[in-house]
Amino acid sequence: MTRILFIGALTLLPSAVWAESAKPSIGYTGAPADHKGQTCVVCHNSYAVNSDTRGSLTVSIGDYNPGVQQMIHITVAHTQAVRWGFQITIRQVSDETIEAGTFSAMPGDPFQVACDDGTQYGAAPPCSGNSGREFAEHVNAPRTATGAGLDILVPWSPPENEVGRVHVYVAAVAADGDGTAKNDAVYTFSTTLSAIGACSLANAPSLRNVVNGASFQQPFSSNAMISIFGSNFQVSGLRRTAGLGDFDNNGTTFPTVLACVAVEVTGPGITQPVRLPIAYVQPDQINAQMPEFVGTGTVNLTVIVNPDKSNQRLSPVATLTSQAFAPAFFLVANSTTIAGQIGGTSTPVANPSVAPGGRPARPGEIVTLYGTGFGDTDPKVSAGVLATAAADLTNSITVKVNGTSLAPSDVLYAGLSPGSLSGLYQFNIRIPQSTPDGDIPISISIGGFQTQSGVTIPIKLEQ
């Protein structure tokens, strides 16, 4: 039996190699979201990737203009190879599992487009499901004279709307054509593209209200998150959340221009307009973070679409008043439940009807709650910067659960939320053993200011 299986394996090997020549397995470009970043060297493993100096892979591609097709020039060379293969995919930096744009191939082209449908070789386009991931790749790996190489143009249409930076991943094989994977060389290429081209928002933005980004009430303060409501901030139906593809300074700071939108303020201690870090944009709402103010007073705010372009348009100026602190809890959408998790888990502190997968906290449990507007921390983290570690509040707070102040030992942490924008604060608190069942009010006071009233978390002893 062992001998029969061994012979069968030998018989299958050439057919598998020829199958890859005709149509390669998808997902071996080195993209981290596919097969843990593996490349064609999984099979063609006589040489380490990019180690065979007799050959090379070059890719010519420029920054993208949303919706404007460009040609990607791929060249594979090797002095001893006679067969050639390649595969390319382009992903959003903000989420490597999501395709950026589409490839196209015409009948008779020496390449094809394959969609990730969960099978080894994929499906024919148009691509849908699995975030529409797609690949352009060789078909019937071209055979040439020794050393002639592969020179190919692949049409790529970027997303219609900019999605921040995108990653390009290409893998190529220069093969000796003997029908096996031995002695073939594998080369890879990767690069990051940014969006270019003029923004084209046609209408001037208008402002309706600027509020605290957690409570949606008026008070805001230095470094606090805010929400701006109005119209003409974006084209109808488009929603953009800032992600890694938008971050500046090596992925450490939020963008000050997102989806062709900027927000500028002047205020106490700020003589020149300062652009705010932006976290989210949709046609009628912008979520951003105020800069650090020295003192309190009048703040002037302007929304700009197509910033720094010839077609730049400005909103009317909104005149606002800042205060020393503007403490507020973030809430679960469409509820009065404070946004938070059971300590050390991702389970929401919420009734399942409010947040799927949530549950009430138990007396004695630790919960993590989130807010904004709580002022300075140590160490200080500038507006727009990701907090990479714990940063404690420099001003004392009073936390009340069901009207009773917590002992300092039950406030385990109060400061910035590590890994998040510096306007987001977190509070790890222990629920008192005496807390009754029900929707229990919680408040935090700092510097004479208190979080919004009427907000709660659910508590239940028996679950």
- CA angle 84-91-384, nearest 5°? 145
The DSSP 8-state label assigned to residue 44 in this structure reads: S
Alpha-carbon Rg for the chain, nearest whole angstrom, is: 28
- Please give the single-letter amino acid code of residue 108: G
The answer to whether residue 336 scores a pLDDT higher than 50 is yes
The answer to whether residue 377 scores a pLDDT higher than 90 is yes
pLDDT tens readout for residues 235-271: 888 889 998 889 888 888 999 999 999 999 998 888 7
The answer to whether residue 1 scores a pLDDT higher than 70 is no
Closest to 91 measured CA to CA, from 138, 38, 33: 33
- Find the largest Cα–Cα distance for the chain: 86
Q: Which residues contact 192 (CB under 8 A, 6 or more apart)?
A: 93, 165, 166, 167, 168
Q: How far apart are CA 14 and CA 12, in angstroms?
A: 6
CB distance 435 to 453 below 8 Å: no
CB distance 127 to 134 below 8 Å: yes
- Determine phi and psi for 4, rounding to 5 degrees: -65, -45
pLDDT tens readout for residues 431-441: 999 999 999 99
CB distance 224 to 212 below 8 Å: yes
CATH superfamily placement of domain 2-193: Immunoglobulins (2.60.40.10)
- Determine phi and psi for 274, rounding to 5 degrees: -115, 135
Q: How far apart are CA 140 and CA 75, in angstroms?
A: 17
pTM of the full structure: 0.79
pLDDT tens readout for residues 63-91: 999 889 999 999 999 999 999 999 999 99
Helix, strand, coil percentages for the chain (3-state, nearest 5): 5, 40, 50
- Name which of 139-143, 148-152, 354-358 the model is least confident about: 139-143
The stretch 101-125 carries a mean pLDDT of 93
How do the domains of the chain map onto residue ranges? 2-193, 206-321, 328-459
Q: How far apart are CA 110 and CA 383, in angstroms?
A: 51
Please state which CATH number belongs to domain 206-321: 2.60.40.10
Same fold, 2-193 and 206-321: yes
pLDDT tens readout for residues 164-196: 899 999 999 999 999 898 999 999 999 999 988
- Please give the single-letter amino acid code of residue 22: A
**Residue 110: cis peptide before it, omega within 30 degrees of 0:** no
